[in-house]
Amino acid sequence: MRTDEITTTAPARTALPLHLPFRRNPSLEVHRVDAGLLLVDPATGTTRRLDPLEAGIWYLLKDPTTVEESVLTLQRTCPDRDPARIRHQVEQLFRDLLSVRMILGE
């Protein structure tokens, strides 16, 4: 097979339930780093650094919170940011944290 005949496909995104409440995994260690946070799962050694916007989402997850609630809260508190960009960032963060069990569905 010639290499110009090979096509690649991106992995399918997992559907993210927008109205399912999520919460922080209580077994994580959380460290303040500059204006953001560092999440550490002591059981797996997995780490994730959160920028200030993502840290704001983490604080929302103190109580069970949906993706949609997080998006709307950030869009209200950051009116100068592009709403579509906020939605993308929030959904991506929830996907990333869920994939490594740093957040859990209720």
With contact defined as beta carbons under 8 Å apart, do 59 and 69 qualify? no
Which DSSP symbol is given to 20? S
With contact defined as beta carbons under 8 Å apart, do 50 and 90 qualify? no
Q: Has residue 19 got a pLDDT over 60?
A: yes
- Domains parsed from the chain with CATH numbers: 18-105 (3.90.930.60)
94 three-class SS: helix
Residue range 2-11, pLDDT digits in tens: 444 444 444 4
Residue range 61-82, pLDDT digits in tens: 999 999 999 999 999 999 999 9
pTM of the full predicted structure?
Answer: 0.83
Q: How far apart are CA 106 and CA 95, in angstroms?
A: 15
